[in-house]
């Protein structure tokens, strides 16, 4: 398994959920892949690129075929493509490996310029997933069924999460300070801090679907690339310079 | 003298010895910032076998096996270290599970290298204490390289 890599031009995206019924930004994604190929970037898909849990086979087949076509263009330009496994694609490793030019990894330790950057999906730090993986899987499937019945339930879910995170933040005491720009549960920030204590200048996670960045207490910066459901974001790494940017196509 | 800070972090000054070959010890170290040299006494001479940078770790063998240190490690410039003790290691792995995987890969790499070198040495039928010592030292260099790449 290779996870220590040196890359001076790397784009990181996550949580695309190809095949998910509620993913409707495929056009934006394909234009992003075109951009990566045109500008000679290497690419890291940081987990949940595919969705096996809440999927439509017909939709996945169509989107995958197009996506692999665009990934092929990247490969022909000699770009390297890394795929970090997430929780929605954990059982698809063999399937992803079929596309021989993708380097599969559980996480990446990227050296770029003089910076060390950890790129990891982040589901291991989700307390619900870590404690009850089977239950998590079952609930995610059930949520998928509920969303088929009424898609607006997704907004109820995100609203609920936002309220809980805001309440948690209001009562947060002595857990590192700093501005949390995305209202996400603090366990992810704590995980990023734990990783940064191992000499990482930056930690890039996905999983939460909430894009944002913040400086960590004790040094290091935490980035989350959010998801491609609504407001696609990506991290651009160039010679150690790291930026979180929106993708508007 | 090293200055201990909160959360088992430590700052070593330029040239300061962090661990000494042959000394007892059960701490493991992760380099948060800076650099260290790793040296061993081979045939009566201290030889620097590797330089480690940010993110690399050392001292895990003494932590896991409670054996004396097999190398001397000195700071190059001001070096910030995270110190893990036996109980702390478990907590670290609980909070940062991929760290265990990185330790395993490091050890696997060391084992693979030393097995290959030992096979080659035995096949050549020229086994001497000097060659075995140098083999052990080079195995450590290889594993440290793996940590660094």
Long-range contacts of A139-146 (CB under 8 A, 24+ apart): A140/A53, A140/A54, A140/A88, A141/A53, A141/A54, A143/A54, A144/A20, A144/A21, A144/A53, A144/A54, A144/A55
Q: Which helix (H) or strand (E) holds B124?
A: helix B98-124
Contact A199 B101 (CB under 8 A): no
Contact A199 B55 (CB under 8 A): yes
**pLDDT at position A193 over 70:** yes
Assess contact for A68 and A81: CB atoms under 8 A.
no
Report the distance separating Cα B57 and Cα B116, nearest Å.
Answer: 24
Nearest 5°: the CA angle B58, B61, B65 is 150
Contact B32 A106 (CB under 8 A): no
Report the distance separating Cα A236 and Cα A42, nearest Å.
Answer: 10
Give A111-130 pLDDT, tens digit per residue. Answer: 999 999 999 999 999 988 88
- For chains A and B, count residue pairs whose Cβ atoms are closer than 8 Å: 40
Instruction: Please report residues of B whose CB lies closer than 8 A to that of A217.
Output: none
Residue of A nearest to B101 (CA): A106
Residue of A nearest to B149 (CA): A4
Largest Cα–Cα distance in chain A? Answer: 51
Q: How confident is the model over B1-18, as a mean pLDDT?
A: 74
Give B91-138 pLDDT, tens digit per residue. Answer: 889 889 999 999 999 889 888 988 888 888 778 766 676 777 777 777
Instruction: Please report residues of B whose CB lies closer than 8 A to that of A116.
Output: 54-55
**pLDDT at position A162 over 90:** no
**The domain that contains A85 carries what CATH number?**
3.60.21.10
Predicted confidence at residue A145, as pLDDT, reads 72
Q: Coil, helix or strand for B54?
A: coil
**pLDDT at position A176 over 70:** no
Q: How far is CA A207 from the centre of its chain?
A: 5
Q: Phi and psi of A112, rounded to 5°?
A: -140, 120
Instruction: Please report residues of B whose CB lies closer than 8 A to that of A1.
Output: 105
Q: How confident is the model over B3-28, as a mean pLDDT?
A: 84
- Nearest CA to A207 out of A223, A187, A227, A222 is that of A227
Q: How confident is the model over A128-137, as a mean pLDDT?
A: 83
Confidence of residue B140 (pLDDT cuts 50, 70, 90): low
**pLDDT at position B87 over 70:** yes
Q: Which helix (H) or strand (E) holds A159?
A: helix A153-170
Contact A107 B98 (CB under 8 A): yes
**pLDDT at position B27 over 50:** yes
Residue of A nearest to B53 (CA): A199
Comparing B88 with A204, the larger pLDDT belongs to: A204
Contact A107 B149 (CB under 8 A): no
Strands lying side by side in the sheet with A108-112: A4-6, A108-112, A115-119, A202-205, A221-225, A211-215
Q: How confident is the model over A74-98, as a mean pLDDT?
A: 86
Report the distance separating Cα B142 and Cα B114, nearest Å.
Answer: 9
- Domains, chain B, ranges and CATH? 3-148 (2.60.120.10)
Predicted confidence at residue B22, as pLDDT, reads 94
Interchain contact B48–A (C-beta under 8 A): no
Instruction: Please report residues of B whose CB lies closer than 8 A to that of A106.
Output: 98, 101
Q: How confident is the model over B17-32, as a mean pLDDT?
A: 94
Using a 10 angstrom Cβ sphere, with 0-12 exposed, 13-18 middle and 19 or more buried, the burial of residue A237 is buried
DSSP for B69-97 reads PSSEEEEEEEEEEEEE-HHHHHHHHHH-T
Report the distance separating Cα A195 and Cα A189, nearest Å.
Answer: 10
Predicted confidence at residue A178, as pLDDT, reads 41
Residue of A nearest to B7 (CA): A197
Mean predicted lDDT score pLDDT of chain B: 85
By DSSP bridging, strand B72-84 and strand B57-58 are unpaired
Q: Coil, helix or strand for A145?
A: helix
Q: Which of A84, A199, A201, A218 to mutate: most B Cβ within 10 Å?
A: A199
Assess contact for A207 and A47: CB atoms under 8 A.
yes
Residue of A nearest to B102 (CA): A3
Nearest to A124 among B31, B97, B105 (CB): B97
Using a 10 angstrom Cβ sphere, with 0-12 exposed, 13-18 middle and 19 or more buried, the burial of residue A53 is buried
Residue of B nearest to A220 (CA): B32
Interchain contact B131–A (C-beta under 8 A): no
Nearest to A199 among B33, B146, B149 (CB): B33
Contact A198 B149 (CB under 8 A): no
Nearest to B82 among A6, A190, A197 (CB): A197
Assess contact for B82 and A219: CB atoms under 8 A.
no
Structural domain of A221: 4-246
Q: How many structural domains compose chain A?
A: 1
How large a percentage of chain A has pLDDT more than 70? 86
């Amino acid at each position: 398994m290779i996870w220590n890599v040196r890359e001076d031009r790397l784009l990181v995206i996550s949580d695309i959920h190809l095949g998910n019924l509620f993913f409707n930004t495929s056009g934006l994604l394909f234009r992003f892949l075109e951009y990566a190929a045109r500008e000679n970037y290497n690419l890291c898909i940081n987990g949940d690129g595919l969705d096996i849990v809440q999927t439509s086979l017909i939709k996945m087949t169509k989107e995958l075929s197009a996506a692999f076509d665009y990934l092929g263009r990247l490969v022909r330009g000699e770009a390297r493509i890394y795929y970090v496994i997430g929780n929605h694609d954990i059982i698809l490793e063999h399937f992803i490996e079929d596309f021989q030019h993708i380097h599969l990894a559980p996480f990446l330790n990227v050296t770029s310029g003089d910076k060390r950057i950890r790129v990891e999906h982040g589901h291991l730090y989700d307390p619900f997933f870590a404690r009850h993986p089977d239950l998590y899987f079952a609930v995610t499937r059930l949520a998928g069924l509920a969303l088929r019945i009424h898609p607006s339930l997704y907004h109820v879910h995100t609203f609920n999460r936002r309220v809980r995170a805001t309440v948690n933040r209001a009562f947060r005491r002595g857990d590192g300070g700093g501005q949390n720009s995305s209202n996400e549960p603090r366990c992810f920030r704590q995980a990023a801090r734990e990783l940064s204590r191992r000499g990482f200048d930056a930690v890039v996670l996905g999983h939460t679907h909430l894009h944002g960045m913040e400086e960590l207490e004790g040094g290091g910066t935490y980035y989350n690339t959010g998801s491609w459901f609504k407001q696609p974001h990506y991290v651009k790494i160039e010679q150690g310079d790291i930026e979180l940017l929106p993708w508007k196509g | 003298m090293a200055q201990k800070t909160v959360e088992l972090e430590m700052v070593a000054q330029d040239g300061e010895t962090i661990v000494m070959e042959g000394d007892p010890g059960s701490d493991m170290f992760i380099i948060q910032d800076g650099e260290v040299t790793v040296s061993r006494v081979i045939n009566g001479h201290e030889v620097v076998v590797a330089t480690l940078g940010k993110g690399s770790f050392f001292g895990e063998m003494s932590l896991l096996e409670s054996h004396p240190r097999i190398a001397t490690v000195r700071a190059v410039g001001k070096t910030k270290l995270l110190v893990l003790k036996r109980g702390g290691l478990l907590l670290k792995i609980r909070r940062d599970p991929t760290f265990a995987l990185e330790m395993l890969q490091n050890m696997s790499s060391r084992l693979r290298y030393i097995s290959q070198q030992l096979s080659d040495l035995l096949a050549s039928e020229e086994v001497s204490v000097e060659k075995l010592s140098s083999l052990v030292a080079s195995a450590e260099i290889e594993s440290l390289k793996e940590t660094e790449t």
